[in-house]
Amino acid sequence: MTSNSKGVVRTVAIKAAFQRKGLGRVLMTGLETFAAQQGVISLEVNAAPDAVPFYDKLGWTMMDRSRSNPLMTKVLSGFEADATEGYNQPAVVVLENLEPPQKRPDYYLASFGDITFDHVNPKTVHDILWSWSQGYMTATAAEEMLRLDENKSLEALARVNGIPEPAEAVLSPEEAAAILGDEPVDGDITFHVRKRIRDARLPSYRRSDVEARKLFEDLVNGR
């Protein structure tokens, strides 16, 4: 436990013979309960890369995926901020009548038949192309991830795979964050905009979606 009411989780492991029995979840639930009883507000962990899906299922948030052991964090139950704190009365009425945001699964059912793709952490050619197509990634980012040489184009690769090109221009997370007026978290200006994408408050990085979200947040916040 650190001086600012944060706790650090280290070396969580279940012996191979006892894995896939739900013991990891039981262990972490007990740890979180104990930490909250000691006054810990949030926990962080440098997760082994293959343990990221485990923490993700337990509600942890990715803070820094660039590290060899990605940094993840979780605010403990009972310490979440009041959703209406600091808002004027009309905004409170709007907020109280909203359905709570639902976290998208890692594999989100897209609106093209039964096609699915990982828009949160795309790695395969299929997922990268669909993320670009549906407004979750700029063309430049997709090209860099696919490592296309000068003889190949993103559009041509999409046609070969039967994937439509984006309907409109897509902003980078940094550009979207600037439009939304976000403040950085631990130096990461994209933290809040990526969270909006993940829990479906922001449908995509298309300019029209970002500007519509900006108008809504201005209304809610009385700006």
- Model confidence, pTM: 0.49
CA distances to 62, 97, 114, 128, 189 from 136, in Å? 17, 28, 18, 9, 17
Three-class SS state of 73: strand
**Better-predicted residue by pLDDT, 83 or 126:** 126
What confidence score (pLDDT) does residue 3 get? 53
What confidence score (pLDDT) does residue 91 get? 59
What confidence score (pLDDT) does residue 65 get? 86
pLDDT at 172 over 70: yes
Scored b (16 or more CB within 10 A) or e, 72-106 reads bbbebeeeeeeeeeebeeebeeeeeeeeeeeeeee
Closest CA to 56 of 33, 72, 40: 72
Q: Domains of the chain (ranges plus CATH)?
A: 6-75 (3.40.630.30), 83-223 (no CATH)
Q: How confident is the model at residue 101 (pLDDT cuts 50, 70, 90)?
A: low
Q: How confident is the model at residue 183 (pLDDT cuts 50, 70, 90)?
A: very high
What confidence score (pLDDT) does residue 19 get? 82
pLDDT at 129 over 60: yes
What confidence score (pLDDT) does residue 177 get? 96
**Could you give the angle at the alpha carbon of 152 between the alpha carbons of 150 and 153, nearest 5°?**
105
What confidence tens digit (pLDDT) does each residue in 47-83 have? 988 888 888 888 888 888 888 888 998 887 655 444 4
7 within 8 A of 73, measured Cβ to Cβ: no
Tokens of 182: 């976000």
Compute the distance between CA of residue 72 and CA of residue 124 in angstroms, rounded to an integer: 23
What confidence score (pLDDT) does residue 151 get? 79
